Chains A and B, each alone.
Chain A
């Protein structure tokens, strides 16, 4: 593998899921320390589903108390839990058929050691303190080996749901770690930026020049490599632009409207997109305007953020483009230009 550079990043984003009638009943009961199932198709499904998985018929509202004890029907051992697992010490995942239920639920068993696990073992739900329960499946911290294997007291009894459920939504988080690595084209682009050179890859078939890390001509579907690299001038004409009005969202640092411009480079069939224009307000940017690149001074260029998704971004190496003051080109010359 050629020289590359790794880019670790986290994908973290919140979901707030609406629960619907069946799950909100289950989650509301769970927040009270009660596990329930639903009678459907002549059996008790727990945890409850909106539809009988065999027939697709609606499950209805014939709720049944199940557990808190149950019997393990299959298990596996997680010797090194991840950050997503419910316990930070080795534990089991198991199929657990709760007392009063005809189907199994999947949950963790905090058994201490692998040798404590067996098919047929009796386990019991261990809830968080009720004050901490939010109505989510992990309100049950884990199941633990039952000290008293006798049947659960209330299991199989009807559960009377309140007219309105307390809990109708569930917060959930996606939290994933990635490590991407820079493609050969990305490495080339970043090195050129550091040297204050603007490069593109010229397609041998259509003669268009692709700016920024791509490694292919997306018109001809041809692979482009180092042999196709050409230096392109740091001068050009604004061929299109948009003014973005920032809306607040997590991570947004812009507060004022800003412009992102496409620049058709002089003497090259090449557009560099998503560029910032310096020295003039967003209302004074015009299609047809001549601009030239402004590099960050050597020693202050930073391309650490240039990854495979940068697509022509200059990182901190390109400060922006400033108007040269030459007379504008006619704007309609750029009307038909796509790339």
Chain B
């Protein structure tokens, strides 16, 4: 394909090892992910026109932690830099939009989260509606479990279906060197565990992970200088629903995912691989249905967010994994999804294509 100036591709992806507990700082993690992706692509910082990261102060417990993280960029001389208090997938979205302006050719997007400093059961209460939810300590696990029960009650899935999602993702994760949780588990074994939040068991919940990841994007012909088979972004969209899950018409489906999928053009051709950001097992079922994916699409060959889940990073890793399917595995059309907020409130969908 002869790219136009408005064609933008992912040309490189790297992640640090997902640790349950690292003794590195977020800045250390950022530096390691950046160095790795730059080495893979074969560029140095002087060639980066725009740098953007996604992280959250509440994770490490340090105000303006993202400012300290910029130490890892090497900002002499001064660079063009931005930050989103969102998963790195949204940082990547900003990098994409920035490249569309046409005055630079290469951008880097980073996600970083040292999640192990705090307890996920209490920490994410600060993410929610400060009037109606936070004073109750309404936690992310409980809200997910309320959505899971609604799914069961609607007759759309069973706890066994949830366990099957877990078993499949963990088995797939065995071949992912960047999986924190992997292995062969029988569905019956998984179902024998106690509930953490009925109807969810520990295996249905996302692991706690410390990690950083980075992708390099390039515009037009520049992509071919950096990558033999760039992963062209042919569709990208982000949709949001009401924050309070009970104010959405139906939480057993994801309207925002469906609309983002339509906006990104998911249905205009077959999707060979989809990397879905489902922090909770059952959410993969909702996402598959909302994106209209059938059995011909391989979902989460990496093991997905159940294999490693650094908040602020796991969505960007979906983008990187879907891109690598094209860059390294010769696939033609893949999908990346990222989510944010309670019960799949916000959803980002990106379609990637290789040259045929």
Q: Is the pairing of A and B real? A: yes
The chain A residues found within 8 Å of chain B, CB to CB, are 1-2, 4, 9, 11, 15, 17, 19, 23, 45, 47, 49, 53-54, 73-79, 81-86, 93-95, 103-108, 114, 119, 136-138, 170, 172, 174, 176-184, 214-223, 308-309
Chain A contacts for B148, CB-based, 8 A: 76
B119-157 residues with Cβ-Cβ distance < 8 A to A are 119, 121-123, 125-126, 130-139, 142-143, 145-150, 153
Known A176-B126, A221-B72; contact A106-B28, beta-carbon cutoff 8 A: no
Known A107-B136, A114-B198; contact A4-B23, beta-carbon cutoff 8 A: yes
Chain A contacts for B194, CB-based, 8 A: 79
Contact assessment for B136 and A138 in the assembled complex, using a CB-CB cutoff below 8 Å = yes
Known A82-B122, A82-B137, A218-B74; contact A93-B146, beta-carbon cutoff 8 A: yes
Chain B contacts for A107, CB-based, 8 A: 136
B64-103 residues with Cβ-Cβ distance < 8 A to A are 68, 70-76
Contact assessment for A181 and B135 in the assembled complex, using a CB-CB cutoff below 8 Å = no
Cα distance, A158 to B19, chains bound together (Å):
55
Contact assessment for A106 and B200 in the assembled complex, using a CB-CB cutoff below 8 Å = no
Contact assessment for A183 and B23 in the assembled complex, using a CB-CB cutoff below 8 Å = yes
Report the nearest A residue to B249, measured CB to CB: A54
Q: Count of B residues near A, CB < 8 Å?
A: 66
Cα distance, A176 to B19, chains bound together (Å):
22
Cα distance, A64 to B129, chains bound together (Å):
22
Contact assessment for B246 and A104 in the assembled complex, using a CB-CB cutoff below 8 Å = yes
Query: Which of the segments B31-39, B221-229, B296-304, B311-319 contacts the partner chain?
Result: B31-39
- Residue B195 at the A interface, CB < 8 A? yes
Contact assessment for A95 and B146 in the assembled complex, using a CB-CB cutoff below 8 Å = yes
Report the nearest A residue to B151, measured CB to CB: A74
Report the nearest A residue to B34, measured CB to CB: A221
Contact assessment for A183 and B24 in the assembled complex, using a CB-CB cutoff below 8 Å = yes
Known A179-B117, A218-B74, A221-B74; contact A78-B21, beta-carbon cutoff 8 A: no
Chain A contacts for B130, CB-based, 8 A: 15, 17, 172
- The CB with the most chain B CB atoms within 10 A, among A49, A106, A217, is that of A106
Contact assessment for B142 and A78 in the assembled complex, using a CB-CB cutoff below 8 Å = yes
Contact assessment for A106 and B195 in the assembled complex, using a CB-CB cutoff below 8 Å = no
Known A178-B61, A217-B74; contact A95-B246, beta-carbon cutoff 8 A: yes
Chain B contacts for A108, CB-based, 8 A: 136
Contact assessment for A176 and B118 in the assembled complex, using a CB-CB cutoff below 8 Å = yes
Contact assessment for B149 and A181 in the assembled complex, using a CB-CB cutoff below 8 Å = no
Contact assessment for B149 and A216 in the assembled complex, using a CB-CB cutoff below 8 Å = no
Report the nearest A residue to B146, measured CB to CB: A74
Cα distance, A86 to B137, chains bound together (Å):
7
Chain B contacts for A19, CB-based, 8 A: 131
Contact assessment for B142 and A93 in the assembled complex, using a CB-CB cutoff below 8 Å = yes
Which of A11, A15, A217 interacts with B61 by CB under 8 Å? A11
- Residue B27 at the A interface, CB < 8 A? yes
B238-276 residues with Cβ-Cβ distance < 8 A to A are 242, 244-249
Chain B contacts for A76, CB-based, 8 A: 142, 145-146, 148-149, 197-200
Chain A contacts for B76, CB-based, 8 A: 219
Cα distance, A262 to B80, chains bound together (Å):
27
Contact assessment for A137 and B149 in the assembled complex, using a CB-CB cutoff below 8 Å = no
Closest CB in chain A relative to B256 CB, distance in Å: 12
Closest CB in chain B relative to A320 CB, distance in Å: 25
Known A74-B149, A223-B32, A309-B62; contact A85-B246, beta-carbon cutoff 8 A: no
Contact assessment for B28 and A85 in the assembled complex, using a CB-CB cutoff below 8 Å = no
- Residue B186 at the A interface, CB < 8 A? no
Closest CB in chain A relative to B230 CB, distance in Å: 25
Contact assessment for A170 and B131 in the assembled complex, using a CB-CB cutoff below 8 Å = yes
Closest CB in chain A relative to B173 CB, distance in Å: 22
15 sample A-B contacts, Cβ–Cβ < 8 Å, listed by A number: A9-B61, A54-B249, A75-B198, A93-B138, A95-B146, A138-B136, A176-B118, A179-B118, A214-B27, A218-B71, A219-B75, A221-B73, A221-B74, A223-B32, A309-B68
